[in-house]
Amino acid sequence: MGNIQRREFDSTDTPADKNTDWMSLLPDDKLLSDLSIPGTHRSMSLFGGNPLRCQSWNLSSQYEAGIRFVDIRCRHFYDKLAIHHGEKFLYCHFTQVLNDTISFLREHPKEVILMHVKEEYEASNNTSTFSDLVSKYMEKVEKSWFLITSVIPTLGQARGKIVILQDFDGPVTGIPYSSLSVVDEQHVPSLDDIGWKWSTVEDSLNAAETGNSDKMYITYCSGDSTDVLPWSVAEKVNYDLLSYLENKGEKKSRFGIITMDFPGVDLVHLIISNN
């Protein structure tokens, strides 16, 4: 895959435009679940070649482009949280993820970052639990940067904060991921199945559009398998997503969190414009 920069798909390292403060324009009383939020799947997977690579923008560039949901997979390894894609170490630790996120929020204090935190690959040589280690990392960067709640907050309550979507056992660190409506049909067996993949995305978006505003919906547009590369799915599904949203016309709808591989800035902006 070469460097491609289109409205809906971008494999270059620099977004064509920025959407740094879009949440600042929205009312404080809106629930986070009542928003349309662009996100990235395996947000740190910039390495590993075509079979593993899911993104081309680094985390700071994702935030600047308007991404407000990130998918962070941590391996519990020698009492550290290393960022992994399966067995592949992604040359980053959880501290860097948090520091980059806090740096963005310092500059843009009316924004909110929703962070899906999940344990990845095999734990090895640890004396602490995964949840204890997450808490230690949070304390290290100062817990005041996090909104620690198990219920969905309003935008006003969450501004300037990281809201963890907690996909691991232990004391409350954030909103339980299991309480959300998540559609993540990640396994796409063949290129012929990309059309089926899109149908699962469309069904989830339709459900989010008509569902209760206090229920948080997450739709994963990503997919792959041993025979299908992430970018192959993203090229087609991102195009279908752009068409789907454009066909809605001027009508604004709540689509929840839309999580993508290699999104283009026009697609990100179109999701944002539904708020």
CATH classification number, 22-272, choose in 3.30.1490.20, 3.20.20.190, 3.40.1280.10, 2.40.50.140: 3.20.20.190
Domain boundaries, the chain: 22-272
Q: What is the pLDDT, as a whole number, of residue 249?
A: 87
Could you tell me the CA-to-CA distances from 131 to 61, 91, 137 in Å, in that order? Answer: 28, 22, 10
State the amino acid at position 273 in one-letter form: S
Q: What angle do CA 73, 100, 215 make, to 5 degrees?
A: 55
- How confident is the model at residue 1, as a pLDDT? 79
Q: What is the pLDDT of residue 79?
A: 95
Per-residue pLDDT of the chain (275 residues; tens, 9 = 90+): 789 999 999 999 999 999 999 999 999 999 999 999 999 999 999 999 999 999 999 999 999 999 999 999 999 999 999 999 999 999 999 999 999 999 999 999 999 999 999 999 999 999 999 999 999 999 999 999 999 999 999 999 999 999 999 999 999 999 999 999 999 999 999 999 999 999 999 999 999 999 999 999 999 999 999 999 999 999 999 999 999 999 998 889 999 999 999 999 999 999 999 99
Tell me the pTM: 0.98
Number of Cβ within a 10 Å radius of residue 10: 26
DSSP string covering 219-272, please? EE---B-SSS-HHHHHHHHHHHHHHHHHTTTT-----EEEEESSB-HHHHHHHH
| Residue 251 confidence (pLDDT) | 87
Residue 229's alpha-carbon distances to 1, 173, 200, 232, in angstroms, are 10, 34, 18, 5
Task: Report the DSSP pairing between strands 69-77 and 80-85.
Answer: antiparallel
Q: Quote the pLDDT of residue 102.
A: 98
**What pLDDT score does 63 carry?**
98
Pairwise CA distance, residues 146 & 140, whole Å: 12
Three-class SS state of 115:
strand
Residue 98 dihedral angles phi and psi, to the nearest 5°: -65, -40
